Structure 1
């Protein structure tokens, strides 16, 4: 089989299907069985070598390539492509023993002792030198093999070493601060160091936010930014080495994009990826795992250029092993989750991992081949999914459509909101954003979850939920969107502080006060168990405010209690036809649904049965419509074209069995 690359750097072997493959855990007879089962399931891509450093470089500068040569050759002979990893997620024992100074150190100055993943300080020049040496050795040995089609730098960078507080990191942090602020006067002003008398007279006096005591939130925020930049610098250093040897191969690393602030600032990393890739795992305690899949996908597609495809690098076939109670996926859930990711823009479905491990920290993590082996429902579902993906091959390269709703999500805003003391310390930033996403998702609206520096062109509604930290540029562009005719919805706890985490004066939400025409005198967070009711019948909990309407129209007022009769939701009309809505209250899910329904025009999918999610991808000639039935009952929708999984024509009514997916291929839509 010959492998090539499209003009968007993507290997042209169809929708990717496979997993992390760790043959080093098994003897060579199992390798032969693996290849047989992979071909039977339709696997066409595996991520190889992620944790193999110590098995390839067995001592400092001493390499044993024999086993890797053999497995690379076996996969080539079997027509299975390789996403080859630099193994820098797992520094070998000889390196850790010789250079304990590379250990990451926690905020109490305790080293992370060897035994887990990513056991290295991102600022360590010693580790960087060894990491680049193994990356170059791999590139020179395997990078020109036809079936090595892409590079996978390390693994889940930051997932174990996201913050290092060692002296090497402290020195790097000080250099970073000097680059950001240039002078101590600028830093002291930005951080408000006069509070508690912490004014700095020398950059050498600044240390990372060590210990558990309350710290200056501006210092903590900048350390979070620095930590993201340090890990990105490491990725870029490995990328540069790989590109110097194999400039034609795409390079990526796997993100961990979810519904809470990420360990690093992935949207700022995304432009440095040839293929934007993500690891996504649902949580057993999540009452709506299907919406979590959608939220992650809606964030990922917003990180790509012009809604190009992205890649699901990891998810689970069934239970994971790292949650308090690890729920096995229900029948059909493996396939439904996988195809939902494809509908949201992924050009592949990969898992962790291919074969369930017998030993080690993740021995009870599900895999494509479970401990019970081939004769299992799970492996049969894997094979069914493989057949589905082969039938969906024409979807590859198609793009998701322009969304009507944009929801702003910013890691820096999340870091600022979740670090330090706040008026309500039980509010989770990700939950605020996801609640708004859930409301539009229930309406089957097309949504993108955007970083705030995005281009807002093409959206009809822009939601700003809990954007605690808002810089002047974001505030200006949000206002311009409304003035140009768009609808902006700003929730409580948005626009409260500037980019340095300093409170904006003059009334909340300071960054959006002029746009909204309404402002808050005082936060009135509710106590546990307290609720409120509005005069239109809506209700909620957690948060209220003492609001003055100014020149905005009052949409709903509080009914009863200390705020009775005071504004809760306002709307201000703008000359250009746009409007700005302020939601100062913590509305419950039904109230949010009612509000969002009033914000968007009805679409052609408005009458789809409850529980059926509709996703659309297009190329220049065709449209691919995914109908994902999350409900426990069969559903019928109206569609025309050809159903791709069953290869049956659809002339009106399309039947979707409970828990299943159907994909209709039709001619281009103007």
Structure 2
């Protein structure tokens, strides 16, 4: 893999913004392929993903390979100057595999054995599946590993979707082996899981099983470890295929398509260390009228997982999808706004699912670059326009995005918090992350996401919206961050348990007690619909309150009513050269501004410029680039000068039309 120093050649042979999508020509007569590829050239496509769901065609019978059609496709694309992202088709094993290995089917937590006819339905712990998937990956690498059109390997498809955890006998055996490696002894396992509760103590390894559905709530520490095991088991499947490819093909980067922010079953902090380039799939939530904010969150999270390096947007949609309750079509210009928002937040490749709309199958109503309506359609026109625009942005390739704010994101904490029997069913880690992120987005601040144990020294402000599980290492890290001059904002129900889902010795928030200057003596969850007034700017909260006892912190706001009346609601504590805020109730996005504007002052952060619903991101390279996206229905003036690379227009001040976007070299 080449250096990513200046971004050029970050994919071998690719020195431009990559543009294209999944191409599944096996769904169409071969005589139509040349016409497809000519349309790709018209649209500006220079990279396509192929082979992602082609196992049954490549290996129609065990050990019998048919590469002829794929050979011809490679040559057609290569002759057209279109590079290839070659998929390993292992997300959809063929019918013969399940006929030979019925034991490889996924078993759900309630004991249901999943059948054939979908995708992603093989157990990651199945030895037969591992062998078959690595075998076909190896054969593909032998055949195409040195082909000049090959730009990147695309292993599998969306690990963890539509299923992730499996409770088969193979998974149970693998889980026991994973636990032996983690704990070393049954005594250590019993201690970690707190098995003296409810008489669950284990005396033999063979008695330990997966946490299947039981009479009541299953041991939460066991559930948490099974979530960790599931992520690791899926990762081992990727590593096995990756290593099989590398043994036959060196120099070509290998990736898989993550679903940052939407697939909760894989710990992508770990996965990022195993891929050469991070890739992500993102689809708008049609029910959310501010879905462009969720898009920004996913893109920022992906860039953070990539440690700031360029990444691939492997899939998004040209218009509506087919699998949500109500699949809204994108409005005119939304296709380009979505693509450029991803590019603004670090993507150097913009890809869609898929190139050509399918006539058959479960996704025949999913939008595509070439829709059912053909080349006379609005979508096709916008696809071509976007391709032309991206073709003018080569100089942006490899530039970086910088952030002054980090939001803590920890999959293990989320897994633990989402288990049963928490103090209120209204607790939601994702709701709090989304609310804080939305506030930062509205304030024009670019955000990185960070693991609580990672180096935070580069950030002026760190926000912990939902750190229910906080290790001692993470707490020490946050303490050092604040002492060194950082500003920390912590929301309620954080620092409650350790890595074993056991309440911290010393009680709630114990590991952050000196950082926050307080302790939480008791949770005071609210009834459905109940609100509490705060003694600051007329704001109110809902869902939650804490019984806070001060230990050095100052009160910013107190509860005026409710179960915590008279108690602190928002506090600030000084520690070393920094400060830490605590918010002990659920504040809405508007109300959060009351807290965060004080945190901005402590951190020395100036909120970004720009009218409401105008998204502004900067990328830094040899030049500085400002990506401005107008999500509103009115034109605005941008108070910056430069050259819009999309239109060629220059000036000391540029107008941004309603629904428009610009990429300005400043």
TM-score (norm 1): 0.96
Query: Could you say which residue in structure 1 is the equivalent of 2:312?
Result: 311
The 1:71–1:371 alpha-carbon spacing in structure 2 relative to 1, beyond 3 Å, is: same
**Unmatched segments (≥5 aa) in structure 2:** none
Query: Could you say which residue in structure 1 is the equivalent of 2:327?
Result: 326
Query: Could you say which residue in structure 2 is the equivalent of 1:342?
Result: 343
**CA displacement at 1:650 relative to structure 2:** 2.2
Match of 1:238 among 235, 238, 241: 241
Deviation by residue 1:83-122 (Cα, 9 ceiling, x = unmatched):
0011111111111111111111111222110011112111
Is residue 357 from structure 1 mapped to residue 358 from structure 2 by the alignment? yes
Question: In structure 1, the residue corresponding to 2:114 is in which secondary structure?
Answer: coil
Query: Could you say which residue in structure 1 is the equivalent of 2:423?
Result: 423
Count of aligned pairs between the two proteins: 658
Deviation by residue 1:181-212 (Cα, 9 ceiling, x = unmatched):
01111111111111110001111101101116
**CA displacement at 1:5 relative to structure 2:** 7.7
Is residue 24 from structure 1 mapped to residue 14 from structure 2 by the alignment? no
Question: In structure 2, the residue corresponding to 1:62 is in which secondary structure?
Answer: coil
The 1:605–1:539 alpha-carbon spacing in structure 2 relative to 1, beyond 3 Å, is: closer
Map 1:84-483 onto structure 2 (within 5 A). 84-211=86-213, 213-258=216-261, 262-305=264-307, 307-401=308-402, 403-483=403-483
Moved more, 595-604 or 265-274: 595-604
Question: In structure 2, the residue corresponding to 1:249 is in which secondary structure?
Answer: coil
Deviation by residue 1:540-585 (Cα, 9 ceiling, x = unmatched):
211111111221100100112332221001111123x200111111
Moved more, 607-616 or 350-359: 607-616
Question: In structure 2, the residue corresponding to 1:554 is in which secondary structure?
Answer: strand
**CA displacement at 1:328 relative to structure 2:** 1.0
Q: 1 CA distance for matches of 2:487 and 2:607? A: 21
* 2:15–2:394 contact (8 Å) kept in structure 1: no
Deviation by residue 1:480-538 (Cα, 9 ceiling, x = unmatched):
00000111111101110000100114332222122111111111111111111101122
* 1:104–1:166 contact (8 Å) kept in structure 2: yes
Query: Could you say which residue in structure 2 is the equivalent of 1:550?
Result: 551
* 1:644–1:662 contact (8 Å) kept in structure 2: yes
Query: Could you say which residue in structure 2 is the equivalent of 1:508?
Result: 508
Q: 2 CA distance for matches of 1:344 and 1:452? A: 22
The 1:18–1:336 alpha-carbon spacing in structure 2 relative to 1, beyond 3 Å, is: same
**Unmatched segments (≥5 aa) in structure 1:** none
Q: 1 CA distance for matches of 2:294 and 2:252? A: 32
Q: 2 CA distance for matches of 1:35 and 1:214? A: 55
Question: In structure 1, the residue corresponding to 2:223 is in which secondary structure?
Answer: helix
Query: Could you say which residue in structure 1 is the equivalent of 2:542?
Result: 541
Moved more, 293-302 or 214-223: 293-302
Query: Could you say which residue in structure 2 is the equivalent of 1:636?
Result: 637
Query: Could you say which residue in structure 1 is the equivalent of 2:499?
Result: 499
Question: In structure 2, the residue corresponding to 1:316 is in which secondary structure?
Answer: coil
* 1:156–1:256 contact (8 Å) kept in structure 2: yes
* 2:444–2:608 contact (8 Å) kept in structure 1: yes
* 1:174–1:203 contact (8 Å) kept in structure 2: yes
Question: In structure 1, the residue corresponding to 2:513 is in which secondary structure?
Answer: helix
**CA displacement at 1:261 relative to structure 2:** 6.4
The 1:132–1:219 alpha-carbon spacing in structure 2 relative to 1, beyond 3 Å, is: same
Question: In structure 2, the residue corresponding to 1:391 is in which secondary structure?
Answer: coil
Is residue 72 from structure 1 mapped to residue 74 from structure 2 by the alignment? yes
**CA displacement at 1:605 relative to structure 2:** 6.3
